Structure 1
Amino acid sequence: MPVGLVKPCLNGDSGCGNSRSERPAMQIDLLYGRDGLTLDMPDGAETHLIEKPAFPACDPPAEQIARALRDPHGAAPLAELCHGKSSACILICDITRPVPNYLFLRPMIEIMTAGGIPLDRITVLIATGLHRPNEGTEMDELVGDPWVLENVRVENHFALNDADHVDLGVTEGRGVPIKLDRRFVEAELKIATGLVEPHFMAGFSGGRKVVAPGVAHHETIRTFHSARFMEDPAARECNLTGNPLHEEQLEIVRRLGDVYALNTVIDDKRNLVFCSFGEIIESHLAAVDFVRGYTEIPVGRKFRTVVTSSAGYPLDQTYYQTVKGMVTPLDILEDGGTLIVASQCAEGIGSDHFRAAQERLVRLGPEAFLKTLLAKDFADVDEWQTEMQLKPMRVGRIQLYSGTLSDSDHAVTGVDRITDLHDAIAASIAHHGDAAVAVIPEGPYVVPKAAAGPG
């Protein structure tokens, strides 16, 4: 089992960086926007750096992809799956996930065409959920391979278009309506692709999650994002046991019959370090088993000051996505502590739906806002992210550093604004009378646990 790095370091000690006359010795690089952000820790801070352990050495990406497609989990190799099929649909995540689509789309499509599926019968479908579509240069960046864009259809999913979906009934477990994009449902070969990482509601992203909510109708998405799911204590990061979202997603993909998935894991430099292909549930669990030991980090204590990020581009482009960085470190935040989040938010607050939910939160306050959610069977679009923000608000004080978020956008965040990370950390240390500071450079890609863990 890999062991994560929790490195205590008192500023000024040898090995903690080069000293400067006006700033402290220790500097930490946070994921922030496209270029990152260098954090100068205050003098005297007892910094506990929480990072993933190093991934093992791995083969070149092309070899990893080829091997995964040749040696799948719970299914035949992709080349065999193509035989007798006349159409295919490949799901890819939208721009909010840094999935290395450019590595695997063309190899998969070439295997499909060699197996007899015509190019004009292959669709790459962007699993937007209820996010905005990815178009123009953004689609080019997302796909990452001009050959794919030139040779097959690449289209967006639109959850609000009723006619685009097939009604498959409701789940037996919790009565969630199963309405999915017909381009995926009606394809003879169905493949989801994605990134497996901690997810603050569904346990882990990837696999079944790319299908629902990825290409689900808004009623499906709004049902299992309602308060009866979100307030369930099992709906949390790195947990699949009894997680209501995960259980509903499993039932939905099983209703479709044969569905396959290509799951990837990347490091903090966006390099491919693991890839699994096969039956959608088995291949996803293989990726979860691999990544779990690199993301859940036993720390052994809680902190009154925690500094984190929103994982940089593309996740930190909106405040909507920034909420994920507020939720994942809560296990190590002391009650009444200060949580400091650095997120660029270059695109602002997020959708108009999310802004409306944030405005209600600011106007009503957390308790009254939650009461409005508990009576609903269908959550309003994007208000579930505001509901998730209630979790850190129940624990402590939230402070946001964003170099681009406008005053009007920040007014509806419901959190405190800071303009200097160094000064905010120093102020938190003074306020709590505690020099210990936990710093999580990768934000929600790392899930620290207060327990020390076995051994």
Structure 2
Amino acid sequence: MKVHLDYGKDGLEQEIPASNITILAPRFLPGLPDETAAFRDAARRPVESQPLKDVLRATDRVAVVIPDITRPLPTERLLLWMFAELSHIPAKNFTVINGTGSHRTNTQAELASMVGVEVLSKYRVVNHTAHDPSTLTLAGRSPEGRPVFMNREYVDADRRIVLGFIEPHFMAGFSGGYKGIFPALADIDSIMRYHRASVIGNPHSTWGVLEGNPTQEQIRANGALLPVDFCINVTQNRKREITQFFCGDVMAAHLKGCEFARTTAMVACERSYPIVLTTNGGYPLDQNLYQAVKGMSAAAQIVDEGGFVLAASRCNDGFPAHGNFRKLLFDHDSPRALLDRILAPGFSMYDQWEAQILAMILLKARVGLYSDILPEEVERAHLAPVPDIGGRISAELERIGQDAPIAVLPEGPMTIPYLT
């Protein structure tokens, strides 16, 4: 059977040498026939909020928060529609903040590709930098009483708007909503606290779970430390077309969007599988191994104990080079040793959360990686380098039986399977 796998910008047409194959993909919804009109309607008839243009005054200093380049949001289109709706406010009053969280800042060329040349030339666009205290100021205190610092431009604004994309998330339950604020605009100490091992290891910090999820609880509490005046969230199909808008009050709009995403992106499975082939949704989601853990996590939900996950993720940006993710993987001789180190009392290191999740997956199943990363580096990361997807699947079937069932997630974490 030939399947299309979302890989890099162009995808892969992959022949799978097997007969017992189950394709698991989100329920496809066509894009909205007129996105511009649909946005205007959502902005003027929002969820539990005044219309967008009535929320902001002409004299307001407005912070607009967008996700960074690792998120497939149609930011350019959304910003153009939003600015048209807010034409009564001078361009100089807006600051667009790239919510990088703990990720690297984006280059001017990347920002231009994200927001468009027109927006970049007309409006002030800045990167958030979690590691630079001079760009941060106190936003408030967490429910535990800890200080939470956020981007100064955001804190000092009169009004705040957040843009986001709602999809199932492997720790937060769903992306979108207040997650566009926290941890996207937080200081590194708060981000480290948010990602602490006890929270990441909590079974409720997982796909599709909102209530009782300690990760989502932190997002909501810290994201709401300052008023967010309007939320613009969308859902998309595999063609990156917008399927629905969820605008207005952050909590109300986000909850409505999550229920919509649950019905389209989550797929019930009656059994687990010895082999699961997955991706990370293609560009921009599969640029590095750090992000590719999401696709592996989706596959891990339905792989047999001791089974095999084969992840096709281009990883053209490596592990990436910045941060400690690569170091954590390389410095430990096994996933068990890595997890024991992360769970040790007092241990705290930037990027430990992604390494923790990968270690947990590797303790359940073997993982192979088809990517641009050098084979020897893939091996040092406790993964099996896969130069030939079809060949590796054939080898697995020879070992366990030619009729063994295989699950394929061609869109990776755009589909979240779960066992019934």
Of the structure 1 ranges 223-232 and 376-385, higher mean CA displacement relative to structure 2 is found in: 376-385
Q: How does 1:21-420 map to 2 (within 5 A)?
A: 26-42=1-17, 44-55=18-29, 58-83=32-57, 85-114=59-88, 117-143=89-115, 145-172=116-143, 174-175=144-145, 177-350=147-320, 351-361=322-332, 363=333, 365-375=334-344, 379-402=348-371, 404-420=372-388
Give distance in 2, aligned partners of 1:176 and 1:36: 44
Contact 1:87 1:118 in 2 (8 A): no
2:8 partner amino acid = G
- The alpha-carbon distance between structure 1 residues 76 and 438, as it changes in their structure 2 partners (threshold 3 A), is same
SS in 1 for 2:337: helix
Give distance in 1, aligned partners of 2:4 and 2:173: 27
Cα distance, 1:418 vs structure 2: 1.1
Give distance in 1, aligned partners of 2:242 and 2:269: 26
Give distance in 2, aligned partners of 1:235 and 1:398: 22
Contact 1:226 1:373 in 2 (8 A): no
Give distance in 2, aligned partners of 1:128 and 1:376: 29
CA deviation string 1:83-141 (max 9, x = no partner):
26521011111110110012110221233341xx3211201110001111111221111
Give distance in 1, aligned partners of 2:20 and 2:156: 57
Cα distance, 1:445 vs structure 2: 1.0
Query: TM-score normalized by structure 2?
Result: 0.95
Give distance in 2, aligned partners of 1:263 and 1:377: 37
Point out where structure 2 has 5 or more consecutive residues left out of the alignment: none
* 1:439 matched to 2:408: yes
Query: TM-score normalized by structure 1?
Result: 0.88
SS in 1 for 2:358: helix
Give distance in 2, aligned partners of 1:368 and 1:175: 33
Cα distance, 1:171 vs structure 2: 1.7
2:39 partner amino acid = I
Give distance in 1, aligned partners of 2:34 and 2:64: 23
Give distance in 2, aligned partners of 1:422 and 1:199: 29
Contact 1:130 1:218 in 2 (8 A): yes
SS in 2 for 1:51: coil
1:142 partner amino acid = M
SS in 2 for 1:444: helix
CA deviation string 1:399-432 (max 9, x = no partner):
1111x21245324321111111111111112222
Of the structure 1 ranges 261-270 and 433-442, higher mean CA displacement relative to structure 2 is found in: 433-442
Matched length: 418
Cα distance, 1:157 vs structure 2: 0.3
Q: State the partner residue of 1:429.
A: 397
Give distance in 2, aligned partners of 1:107 and 1:210: 19
SS in 2 for 1:390: helix
Give distance in 1, aligned partners of 2:163 and 2:80: 13
Q: Percent identity?
A: 31
Give distance in 1, aligned partners of 2:295 and 2:55: 39
2:363 partner amino acid = R
Give distance in 2, aligned partners of 1:197 and 1:183: 27
- The alpha-carbon distance between structure 1 residues 299 and 75, as it changes in their structure 2 partners (threshold 3 A), is same
Point out where structure 1 has 5 or more consecutive residues left out of the alignment: 1-25
